[in-house]
Amino acid sequence: MASLMEMKEIFRSADAVCFDVDSTVIREEGIDELAKFCGVGDAVAEMTRRAMGGTVTFKAALTARLGLIRPSYEQVQKLISDNPPQLTPGIRELVSRLHQRGVQVFLISGGFQSIVEHVALQLNIPTANVFANRLKFYFNGEYAGFDETQPTAESGGKGKVIAHLKQQFQFKKVVMIGDGATDMEACPPADCFIGFGGNVIRKQVKEKAKWYITHFDELLKELEER
């Protein structure tokens, strides 16, 4: 297991940095916001808490939550236009600095492609670098389920995405940053996991992560060390 000093060196020399999105890159949980928008906020928030705590499988929680919400295409688009995701302070500067250093930045999310792509656009991250769940709709716009073949639809999916990226791009050092259990379990294959508690603190992650931060400025300072 890498020491904190070794982890900091991995971060400073990383080929790629992968971020979770909900409660990490953005301040809210996208699925909870969608649930509130569709009038089933409280029930879905409780399911999210259980999923992030790692007590139920991600796919089971996602299926159950979406079964309650049943969002239409129109509702998803209206959510993005009326209540756009709020970027976490410091993330814009951090992603910009990573890009300046030639580091590839990816968004790997258990949230929804349409919302995550909106976030990527704000951060100048190409949509090809977005891995998220895809909602399916009938021709009339009604909810028709989600694409269960996406790796991000399953527990362990974020690790599968990172393994794929390492193979595809021959990355030597990949860092995963996130707030939840599904992010922490992506290391390995990620070479380093940084726990993030700037929006919400997950007890399990705070206790187990060797490197835990509450503001992205801490990572910006690390990059200036070199």
What average pLDDT does this structure show over 153-180?
87
Eight-class DSSP state of 85: P
Can you tell me the distance from the alpha carbon of 92 to that of 173, in angstroms, rounded to the nearest whole number? Answer: 22
Q: Known catalytic residue: 22?
A: yes
Marked catalytic residue, from 15, 20, 82, 191: 20
pLDDT at residue 50 greater than cutoff 80: no
**Residue 20 is a catalytic residue:** yes
Tokens at 132, concatenated = 């998220």
Contacting residues for 102 by C-beta, under 8 A, at least 6 apart: none
**Catalytic, out of 15, 22, 32, 179:** 22
Going from N- to C-terminal start, the domains of the chain cover 4-28+85-224, 34-82
Q: Which amino acid is at 103?
A: V
Q: Assign domain 4-28+85-224 to its CATH architecture.
A: 3-Layer(aba) Sandwich (3.40)
Position 140 pLDDT exceeds 60 = yes
Segment (H or E) for 52: helix 41-52
C-alpha 189/C-alpha 185 separation (Å) is 9
Q: Which amino acid is at 98?
A: L
User: Is the pLDDT confidence value at 1 over 60?
Assistant: no
Neighbouring residues of 166: CB distance < 8 A, sequence distance ≥ 6: 174, 189
- Helix, coil or strand: residue 185: coil
In this prediction, residues 113-130 reach a mean pLDDT of: 91
**Global confidence as pTM:** 0.87
> pLDDT value at position 4?
77
**Residues in contact with 110: Cβ distance below 8 Å, sequence separation at least 6, in sequence order:** 22, 58, 62, 132, 133, 152, 153, 157, 158, 182
The predicted-structure confidence for 142-158, as pLDDT tens digits, reads as follows: 999 898 888 888 878 89
